Amino acid sequence: MSTTYVLDTATSRAHPTPAPMKRLNIPGIRQRKVDGVTEQPVVMLTAYTARQAQLLDAHCDLLLVGDSLGQVIYGLPSSVPVTLDMMSAHGAAVVRGSYHAAVVVDMPFGAYEQSPQQAFESASRLLKETGCDAVKLEGGTAMAETVAFLTQRGIPVMGHVGLTPQAVNVLGGYNARGRSAAEAEKIVGDARAIADAGAFAIVVEGVVEPLAIAITKAIPCPTIGIGASAQCDGQVLVTDDMLGMFERTPRFVKIYEHLAETISAAAATYAAEVRARTFPGVEQTYQPK
């Protein structure tokens, strides 16, 4: 059975409902793709807090604690400044808030590139401190040795090729990748190398659609598209993007709800009632018995 938490509901708003069910596991996700075909696409969204995890959990196969939290939660200019401490804290919160989806935690920039040994130290820390099911790292052929090193030591790894945000300083921006034949060939090679090294799934981000389809056909493990193609074996979006929390979003994002407008309107109504002294009312105050 999955780990459940019984919290004092008198003092905490976060009280995950215990459920007699098993959390989805990494082998099960990998086995969705059989002979190159994934009949049931993999659904993944980002989550950074326990409450967000609670709301998304029942609808997702995977919850990704992405290093995108650098921009989304902390207002940083990129994911590069994100630390292991940040990933550990938010990863643990998401695990506490979920019981159905498998939880994947991003390895932040600088926590794994130096050597397979460094990557193992960082990844094992994340698994121990968060209870997550797997880690994700960016990079292609250069990271294949590291992926093999981790998987051979019991740490499931999700890969990430194409537009890799941690390498934004080298790439020169967030433009779509794979427009040239040479770059497309390299990205396919990167995906093959990571898959051969043992990755259970690979995020394919920000590539031209024919390349995303070619990668999906070329590797045995599921591809998770973001700005890629509906023909990928699954999809992921940054939850705050698809909920319309920001004024600007990447072109590949579909906004399913405009929560920023709803929140702003609610705050405006609250402010007006406070200034008019109509809040709190009788219902929100304690009267003598």
Catalytic residue positions?
205
Tokens found for residue 6: 């019984």
Between strands 134-136 and 234-237, the pairing is unpaired
Q: Is 138 annotated as a binding residue?
A: yes
Q: Is 204 helix (H, G, I), strand (E, B) or coil?
A: strand
Please tell me whether 68 is known to bind a ligand.
yes
Six-digit token pair at 180?
A: 């040239």
Q: Tally Cβ neighbours within 10 Å of residue 6.
A: 8
Task: Judge whether 96 and 109 are in contact, CB under 8 Å.
Answer: no
| β-bridge partners, 42 | 234
Neighbours of 254 (CB within 10 A): 8
**CB 62 within 8 Å of CB 77:** no
Annotated binding residue 33: no
DSSP 183-226: HHHHHHHHHHHHHHHT-SEEEEESB-HHHHHHHHHH-SSPEEEE
* Sign (positive or negative) of CA dihedral 128, 134, 139, 145: positive
Closest C-alpha to 207, from 185, 240, 239, 222: 185
247 Rama sector, left if φ>0, alpha if ψ -120 to 50, beta otherwise: alpha
Q: Which residues are annotated as part of the binding site for Mg(2+)?
A: 67, 106, 138
Q: Which residues are annotated as part of the binding site?
A: 67-68, 106, 136, 138
Q: Which residues are annotated as part of the binding site for 3-methyl-2-oxobutanoate?
A: 67-68, 106, 136
